[in-house]
């Protein structure tokens, strides 16, 4: 077995040993809110937002973007599971600031190996075996953190399946301090109507 699988299975055994009565938790999030945030490994929403099991929905993808699939989850979150307030939380030093769709397509066309990055940008090994399929995907990168939060809040707010009484708050998590810093323009755009 891989080292990582061993570590995960052994950590899980410890978790199971202390699981207590969490098996009785109901499916709807007890604190009735949802967070859309980035998959970045430095972000732990349970810790930065004080969540316990059963508290809230956390939807994660690269960038914490309001993709069609993120909106799908948010709609299920309120329509079937009763959430009443939503957060969009991007973060400083996000990887999505370091490339764009053209660069990603180019890297994938070079090879399927992990690319490397330096001060001049991303580089592929160009080892061959790449694909042009990356050209057909919108990678949802961004160039400015605050504007991307506003953009995502606006996109969610203006979706016909999102009721006007759900407030959507916009924040940026500071990777250097752990602080959530509000993006006032985003929160204003996400105000409940």
Give the footprint of Zn ion on this chain (CB under 5 A).
38, 40, 94
Supply the minimum distance, in Å, between the C-beta of residue 82 and Zn ion: 28
Nearer to Zn ion, 76 or 175 (CB): 175
Nearer to Zn ion, 24 or 177 (CB): 177
Nearer to Zn ion, 38 or 153 (CB): 38
- Asked if 106 contacts 98 with a C-beta cutoff of 8 angstroms, the reply is no
> Cα–Cα distance between 153 and 175 in angstroms, integer?
21
Nearer to Zn ion, 37 or 166 (CB): 37
Supply the minimum distance, in Å, between the C-beta of residue 156 and Zn ion: 18
Supply the minimum distance, in Å, between the C-beta of residue 38 and Zn ion: 3
Query: Of all helices (H) and strands (E), which one includes residue 108?
Result: helix 101-110
Could you tell me whether strands 168-173 and 180-182 are parallel, antiparallel, or unpaired per DSSP bridges? antiparallel
Supply the minimum distance, in Å, between the C-beta of residue 95 and Zn ion: 5
> Cα–Cα distance between 81 and 79 in angstroms, integer?
6
> Cα–Cα distance between 169 and 144 in angstroms, integer?
18
């Amino acid at each position: 077995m891989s080292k990582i699988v061993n570590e995960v299975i052994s950590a899980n055994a410890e978790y199971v040993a202390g699981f207590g009565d969490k098996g009785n938790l109901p499916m709807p999030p007890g604190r009735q809110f949802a967070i859309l945030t980035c998959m970045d490994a430095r972000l732990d929403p349970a810790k930065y937002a004080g969540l316990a099991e059963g508290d809230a929905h956390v939807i994660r993808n690269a960038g914490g973007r309001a993709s069609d699939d993120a909106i799908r989850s948010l709609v299920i979150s309120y329509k079937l599971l009763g959430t009443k307030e939503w957060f969009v939380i991007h973060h400083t030093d996000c990887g999505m600031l370091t490339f764009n769709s053209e660069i990603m397509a180019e890297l994938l066309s070079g090879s399927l190996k992990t690319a490397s990055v330096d001060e001049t940008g991303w580089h592929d090994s160009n080892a061959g075996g790449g694909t042009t399929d990356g050209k057909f995907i919108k990678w949802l990168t961004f160039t400015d953190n605050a504007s991307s939060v506003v953009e995502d809040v606006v996109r969610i707010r203006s979706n016909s399946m999102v009721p006007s009484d759900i407030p959507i708050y916009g924040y940026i998590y500071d990777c250097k301090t752990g602080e959530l810093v509000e993006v006032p323009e985003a929160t204003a755009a996400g105000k409940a109507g």
